[in-house]
Chain A
């Protein structure tokens, strides 16, 4: 009777990704909170602070680059660090653990949700930036290459750190109260809402430890003219350092996730 083999982890993982996307799209709160909210913020900040920072670079353009970087954090870190405690609380995780579904399929499903929602968000922010805030798409293929690895690596690190952070909220209900402030404070420190070099030195130093600062700087290197690099802290885009620091956070996130992930609250 049971000659058939248990379906592969990848097959189940892809099915989970499809199912989770379907759930995501049906939850008005998640669609609004994850996708529409950043666009609204972009509209507000971009319209209020229209001052020119330097030779033809407006704050709006600076802000769009920061919001695209924030999109990586919202769809990965913030979404997972809130969603996983909720699933743990509801018993979803325990139920899944009682089936032949392997843990890897669960994470494949999460990666799919994060990746698809991240692409949608980045796309929407770019469209809004181009249409309303004078953002120009880069013409240099090298910048497109930087953009590609930034969203892949940044999104991967953000996903891994979201899973790692998901052990911290004590309950599903409290999760967004624990996670959202972390994200918002990081956004303030990392030069999303203000020009990074205008921030106090200590704030810059704290931000430099975390990956968001490097993601925003990386996005500026893609979307702002190279002449603007002189206005960065090091007077340079620091692309190599950006890559290494985000990669280090990805590795740390994976390591912590594997060591600490919990299926339920029990001892």
Chain B
């Protein structure tokens, strides 16, 4: 499988602050990769360098075989193959959903069908509505529609579900799953660990300008082999025990108690627990 994104030794400073301190990263074709990290860890800077919005100080970067620092006509040919969904844009409220998507379609060599994109993002019924009448979630869907109208091979999704209610978030995840089926490579940044877990094939955790680990959501930070916490209601109230062998512990408890073990739970570390441990409580 070929790499859509490949980064070696990426560095970027603002004045005396080193925002990105030597990052290596490869993302394969068709992969959904989530970049996690607290605010100020260098996440946005890294992504914006990959998107061609910022210049790097050092390192090799290739996105779809092209250096994102290119400009001019070659940059247009490159941008024709990528889609970018930025954080919150709030413009053009006086245009309808359909007008806006149809207009952006004119920027690309091989745009998708406007009605098909409207249906894909679940805005078919809102196509005639003016943008300023849309809810936050609907606006975000429009952002995604504008990101995918050019049939991109690579899609950047920057915190796509911030401000969504749980139902809208689930619906959005289904949309991303549909994009995965079309073979689109996706680089996702998010603050929601459940989102990364639901969508990403691999996650990378970035802290203080460096990648501290890249793994699958299930294996990150030794999560699969981490201790489980078994808790139950004993004679002295709620008791709990951390163990690497919860099955044996429950076997023992089931002989201690005559019937059901009261209030029995077995809890493994969530991705969020692991993540917070990794970044040392930097996130708020």
Contact = CB atoms under 8 A, between A and B. Distances in A.
Interface of A: 1-2, 4-7, 11-12, 15-16, 19, 22-23, 26-27, 87, 90-92, 94-95, 97-102, 264, 266-267
B86 A27 contact: no
Interface in B87-109: 87-92, 94-95, 99, 103-104, 106-109
Contacts of B94: 22-23, 26-27
A134 B107 CA distance: 49
Contacts of B91: 87, 90-92, 95
Nearest to A267: B14
B109 A6 contact: yes
30 contacts: A2-B80, A2-B109, A5-B109, A6-B76, A6-B77, A6-B108, A6-B109, A7-B107, A7-B108, A7-B109, A22-B95, A22-B99, A23-B95, A87-B91, A90-B89, A90-B91, A91-B86, A94-B53, A94-B86, A95-B84, A95-B91, A98-B51, A98-B79, A99-B84, A99-B107, A99-B108, A99-B150, A100-B77, A101-B107, A264-B53
B136 to A, nearest CB: 15
A267 B52 CA distance: 14
Given A1-B110, A4-B110, A5-B109, A99 B79 contact: yes
A4 B77 CA distance: 10
Contacts of A90: 89-91
A11 B105 CA distance: 12
The contact size tier of chain B is 20 to 34
Given A7-B108, A266-B53, 14 more contacts: A2-B80, A2-B109, A6-B77, A6-B80, A6-B109, A15-B106, A22-B94, A22-B99, A26-B95, A91-B91, A94-B86, A95-B91, A98-B86, A99-B104
B148 to A, nearest CB: 12
Nearest to A102: B76
